Amino acid sequence: MSSSGFGGLNKSPSGIVIGLVQLQNPVVETPAQLAAQTQRIVELVGKARRNNPATDLVVFPEYALHGLSMCTDDAIMCSLDGPEVAAFKAACVEHRIWGCFSIMERNPGGNPYNSGLIIDDKGEIQLFYRKLHPWVPVEPWEPGNIGVPVCTGPKGAVLSLIICHDGMFPEMAREAAYKGAEIIIRTAGYTAPIRHAWRITNQSNAFQNLAQTASVCLCGSDGTFDSMGEGMFCDFDGTIMVEGSHRPDEIITCEMRPDLVREARIHWGVENNIYQFGHRGYVAVKGGAMDCPYTFMQDMVRGAYRLPWESEVRVTDGTSCGFPAPERTYEG
């Protein structure tokens, strides 16, 4: 296990301490409420620094700023040059800490994006991501169009960010790791019915990619939805290192060891699955088979992805959740 079990209190020279904020599920329906919630997040950046001076990166869950209303009102949408992101940058500088934040991003060409960003301790955006897989049919957000970026974070750790439902697709974590991510951050607004899937996908995303995962949900009730909190750190063998409770605004911490991830990726033979995926059967054939034997991948590249039961699928838009059927096609 890579963690000492003390949440980074005995931090190693190669360790990166991450704090996951199980943020109270907010109600944000007006610009005034948006401003108040921005200030609340800023305050918790300071709490993270005071709570554990060793913390390198504080992570807020998806919907931390907007709550779970799914409101697309332009009056409460954000932009990278807006006051909310400016406040987050200032907080990171003031408290000398990196931060991972969630915004619903204004999109002049269509529905807003569900976006996330990682800001360094100098106030610079090091990673910007738009959720690739909105949680259909519940979420109205535009599908992301900038891929799965990575950045170099504290202590040289390579970080990626995926958002909530993204983590249910094994291809998402694989893409992040393929680009070099050693720590895969997953932010979410999930509610209690997703608890089992949350746990097993956080673990499998780590194990299948020899990566460490740091994942956190909103927490508590907004009067309608009950979010589950349950921050979770998983090691690259899939074991859970540190696990949070259901207490709103609790910050759980863990020391991650990307240096051990790098070691495993280089030296493991058995279960070095991310390498073996592209080098099938290297014991039998030199370098392994480096083909693409997967029909679904080939079809997707050709724009011909179609399930054998495709014509029988009943839920194919958001009308069951009160959203009008879309008329626009995806432009990328």
Q: What is the pLDDT of residue 3?
A: 55
Walk along the chain (332 residues) and give the pLDDT tens digit of each residue. 455 557 788 888 999 999 999 999 999 999 999 999 999 999 999 999 998 999 999 999 999 999 999 999 999 999 999 999 999 999 999 999 999 999 999 999 999 999 999 999 999 999 999 999 999 999 999 999 999 999 999 999 999 999 999 999 999 999 999 999 999 999 999 988 899 999 999 999 999 999 999 999 999 998 888 888 999 999 999 999 999 988 999 999 999 999 999 999 999 999 999 999 999 999 999 999 999 999 999 999 999 999 999 999 999 999 999 999 999 999 88
Q: Is there a contact between 272 and 265 (Cβ–Cβ < 8 Å)?
A: yes
Instruction: Give the distance, in angstroms, between the CA of residue 196 and the centroid of all CA atoms in the same chain.
Output: 17
Dump strand ranges (E) for 68-131: 98-105, 113-119, 125-130
Q: What is the pLDDT of residue 223?
A: 87
pLDDT given at position 15: 94
- Beta-sheet pairing, 16-22 with 57-59: parallel
Backbone angles phi, psi at 73, to 5 degrees: -60, 125
- What pLDDT, on a 0 to 100 scale, did the predictor assign at position 1? 45
pTM for this predicted structure: 0.96
pLDDT value at residue 246: 86
Domain architecture of the chain: domains with CATH: 5-277 (3.60.110.10)
- Specify the pLDDT at position 298: 98
- Which residues have a catalytic role annotated? 62, 131, 164
CB atoms within 10 A of CB 5: 11
Report how far residue 218's alpha carbon sits from residue 41's, in angstroms, rounded to the nearest whole number: 12
